[in-house]
Amino acid sequence: MKNYQILERELIKSPRTWLVTGVAGFIGSNLLLELLQFGQRVVGIDNLSTGHRRNLEEVRDQVGSARWACFNWMEADITDRLACRKACMGVDCVLHQAALGSVPRSIVYPEITHHNNVSGFMSMLIEAKDAGVKRFVYASSSSVYGDHPALPKVEDQVGDCLSPYAASKKANELYAAVFSKCYGIECIGLRYFNVFGPRQDPHGPYAAVIPKWINSMLRGDTVVIHGDGETSRDFCYVKNVVQANLCAATICNPNALNTVYNVAAGGRTTLNELYEMLRIHLIKERPDLSDASPAYDDFRSGDIRHSNADIGKARRLLNYQPTHQIAAGLIAGLKWYLVNPVTVVNTSQRRSTECYPTRTTRSVVCSSP
């Protein structure tokens, strides 16, 4: 962590102004926490379609009133160009996390996925460019590797996209590359690999696997694994992702700019292995898990079979040094879930169980499972 500690000291010494999109979401709120703890000024934008007010409240309680005063939050949609323009004013760096995630959701709602992930991305990119923002760091995804069979995944070897979500993230990478060439804005894309950790929502039909399984186990429900359980992923604790964003935002090496990087731990865990790790960790809380076993269902359309990242490029050019492999990340993440058991959705803190912005930016279409 030597390089990151140096970065921390530099940021505390010379604070910047940051824009975090999707700030009330899982990764966005973790970025907000780190930036405020580093004494930075932060603007945040979120429409609360998948984010939560409670995430912001938790960050506020952790950083205290003085540092919280350095945060300005806008409840707005990234497809609202005027809102994006206002958010980008006076900003040094954009950390763009806002998106409608989930491969299965994109297959059900391809147009809405495109509207949020591509049109919204374009709105942010244009307004950042026009506002003179120097650095634009954005969340891409390991899904862009598609059907390319090679393992580990290397940045310049991608296959055909297998879902609208993957296509939307690939489009982001193409637009970022074009904007850097045409307009000079410095863009860095981060291909996240199965991020997990505190404040990741376990609810809804499109919840990520780790929080969803933790929630099921704590409730005593049977975990359902899609496929035979030998599907593997490179699970990455959110602290690693926060570090990668800040490294990408501040790196001075010109050779590190205007490209994409894998952000992961560099490991590979099957779903069967993941289930067993969680089961063992949670037995103290749920003794009945000592005899528990998962149920198996069909493979999901659009899912890739195996995912494992080569993080050498990020290590070399961004000084990225992941601190948490999956075992350490699960221990840290489980502490949060045990202290903050979100087994029941608080409808006063979000609009509904699942909300999907329509093409009209200020309205939402909501449905409950």
Q: Is 165 a catalytic residue?
A: yes
Cβ(77)–Cβ(55) below 8 Å: no
Residue 247 has, within 13 A of its CA and on its CB side, a CA count of 27
Cβ(206)–Cβ(101) below 8 Å: yes
Q: Kindly give the residue spans of alpha helices, DSSP state H, lying in 39-119.
A: 53-63, 65-68, 81-88, 103-108, 110-114
Measured CA to CA in angstroms, residue 59 lies from 45, 76, 130 at distances of 15, 19, 31
Rg, the chain, Cα only: 19
- Tokens describing residue 137: 């760091």
Question: Roughly what angle, to the nearest 10 degrees, separates helices 120-130 and 81-88?
Answer: 40
**What whole-number distance in Å separates Cα of residue 279 and Cα of residue 275?**
6
State the catalytic residue, choosing from 109, 165, 237, 320. Answer: 165
Percent helix, strand and coil across the chain, each to the nearest 5: 45, 15, 40
Other CB atoms within a 10 A radius of the CB of residue 255 amount to 9
Catalytically active residues, by annotation: 165
